[in-house]
A and B are shown apart, each in its own frame.
Chain A
Amino acid sequence: MSRTNAPAWMGRPTPAVRAAKAVALTVVVALVVFPLWTVLATSLASPQNVIANGGWVVWPDEFSFASYTEILQGGIISRALLVSAGITIVGTALSLVCTIGLAYTLSRPQVYGGKPLLLLVLFTFLFPPGMVPLFLVVQGAGLFDSYAALILPFLVNVFNLVVMRGFFQSIPSELIDAARIDGASELGILRQVVLPLSKAVIAVVGLFYAVAYWNRFFEAIIYFNDQAKWPIGTVLRQYVTGGASLAETSGELAATSPQSVQMAVVMLATLPIVCVYPFLQRYFVKGVVTGALKA
């Protein structure tokens, strides 16, 4: 631990204090990392290794990608991953377009009807739609067994909207006025002035949306009769936490150990988030706190 930027008044902590802190931090990090690590290790272990160790391993004797090749060869899990990826990409894009449009309009002072429209949107946060009435709306819209049922009912999130609106409000109005005087259209202002300045908040809000779409599983249970359309979260729930064994889900997986395959699925559902996360993490504070700060 470097102590270069410690203020003088802090003094030097005793070795005991420093050791206690180090232990506490290590424990915290281990509590988060270790479960994920055993999942990765088990997914990469050979069947004999897994069985010999009672269903899980912390360090595989040999690394084998058999579980991954097995489930990625086609079949229900490959399909579910594709479904989730598609929903995530399309959903995030649609959500961003709608959120940016609404947030920008609500961020402009004195836009016609701005105040009532804002209240209209914020009220939904106070009283979120109930599960059953929302189900009937989705059913009434004819979205049953349609991928749109996993996107449209969650198109705009009020929290993301407010964060984005706050960020747009922090953009100096002189910039926007100047562009307007130069003859730019509203769309031109949005695209050439506002959006280039808002990359951080768009990155964060985009991440929030993408994660929400990727993780969504419950809606597929109530809206989809056709299990072949399930996204990865729903499939995962079916046989990791729902008690159904892997053999029931797809018959062809007997060659590898079921635990490894299960953990490989958990890993595949986790991986995109773990991969995208470091790139966007630096925007968290910048995007969210700044966006909220100036609201």
Chain B
Amino acid sequence: MAHRTDKALTYGCNRFMFVNILFRLGTAREAFDVSMTRVRGGTGGASPPTGTARARPEGGRPRLGHLRRIRADRALLLFAAPGLAYFLFFHYGALFGNVLAFQDYVPFLGISGSEWVGLAHFERMFTDPLFWNAVKNTLVIAALQLVFFFPAPLALALLLNSVVGDTVRRFVQSVVYLPHFLSWVIVVALFQQMLGGAGVVNGWLSDLGVGGVSIIGNPDAYGPLVIAQLVWKECGWATIIFLAALSQVDEQQYEAAALDGAGWWRRLWHVTLPAIRPVIVLLLVLRLGEFLSIGFEQFFLQRQSVGPETGEVLETFVYFTGFAGGDFGYAAAVGLFKGVIGVALIYAANKVAHRLGEQGVYKA
């Protein structure tokens, strides 16, 4: 049970999701194979008795035809139809739409009428200083997120976990989860209200007779600002996963450590952290897989305030090139490039996580 819970924990944050789906698929496939083996009975030929009412004749008996299976499942397939139509139309349609990355796309002519240009957009991309500027900004912000945002929920979760009073703990949890549900527009507005030139903090500073601080609209402060916003918005929500992991730590180990005279720090270092290390490592690996996914709306909203030199990241570059600049083909090429790199990173992270998973996730 414990190891299953640990895997489930990783569902707390959707940015860490994909690999878990793969894990789950893997285990689902195993379960499926096992059950099929059981159904087939491994005896070859003899039709074995089955316990499940829904088990279809497989292996021994002749398979039902596709049409008959579809008809047997027609109600279920009908339930699934609207959702599947959505994925086919919007997701796979858009996937196909990526061909315009290889076109000199003219909206008036459409995809079928526009001229093919091969890899011209990609060649342009690699020599475009504006593109490389966006890459640089994306990498800087991604690195800041990794170093400063990643450990924050762990620290908050350790603090919350050490609170014994249930009421206090639940109250604090309710409060810190809330910002996750506010939109980036509101978060950015709140930060302007607090830290802006005429904001609350500068008002206090001038009351104290100290000179004001320039944070909003100051390119030098942009990195710390966007990290502070991310921590404010998501840190509480991200504790869910660590709190669930912490609740799985074996009480007896704490007790034994305490009997041996270990204080709070040593219990943390020798019991708590080793116990949740698999979760930390897994999340870290998955975060690396999503390294380039730093978010769009937050940067879209604030790019103007600091200018593209500092504020342009890859996704805003796609937006401003495509929608403001009308250069759809080039924008699509940059988007496709980022998407492909993203897939490669997730794939690599998944490999690593799978390897760690054997001892990290499954055994915890």
Contacts and interface: CB of A to CB of B under 8 A. Distances in A.
Interface of A: 1-3, 5-7, 9-11, 13, 17, 21, 24-25, 28-29, 31-33, 35-36, 38-39, 42, 53-56, 58, 97-102, 104-106, 108-113, 115, 117-122, 124-138, 140-141, 152-153, 155-156, 158-159, 161-163, 166, 173, 177, 180-181, 185-187, 190, 211, 214-218, 222, 233, 236-237, 240-243, 262-263, 266, 269-270, 273-274, 277-278, 281, 284-285, 288-289, 291-293, 295
B192 A240 contact: yes
B90 A134 contact: yes
Nearest to B99: A133
B168 A39 contact: no
List the 6 closest A-B pairs by CB distance, nearest first. Answer: A133-B97, A102-B83, A129-B94, A215-B183, A186-B75, A292-B11
Majority-rule SS of B interface residues: helix
A155 B83 contact: yes
Interface of B: 4-5, 8-9, 11-12, 14, 17-18, 21, 24-25, 28, 32, 35, 52-56, 66, 69-70, 72-73, 75-77, 79-84, 86-87, 89-98, 100, 111, 156, 159, 162-168, 171-172, 174-179, 181-186, 188-194, 198-200, 203, 232, 236, 240, 244, 251, 254-255, 258-259, 264, 296-297, 300-302, 304, 315, 318-319, 322-323, 328, 331-332, 335-336, 339, 342-343, 346
Nearest to B197: A55
Majority-rule SS of A interface residues: helix
B183 A217 contact: yes
Nearest to B236: A32
Contact of B86 (A29, A42, A98, A281): A98
Contact of B164 (A3, A100, A215): A3
B21 to A, nearest CB: 5
A132 B83 CA distance: 22
20 contacts: A2-B164, A17-B264, A32-B232, A35-B194, A39-B189, A105-B79, A125-B17, A133-B95, A137-B97, A159-B14, A161-B83, A173-B52, A233-B183, A241-B189, A241-B302, A266-B190, A266-B193, A269-B185, A288-B240, A291-B11
A270 B186 contact: yes
Nearest to B350: A126
Contacts of B111: 136
B168 A293 contact: no
B266 to A, nearest CB: 13
Given A117-B80, A129-B94, A124 B87 contact: yes
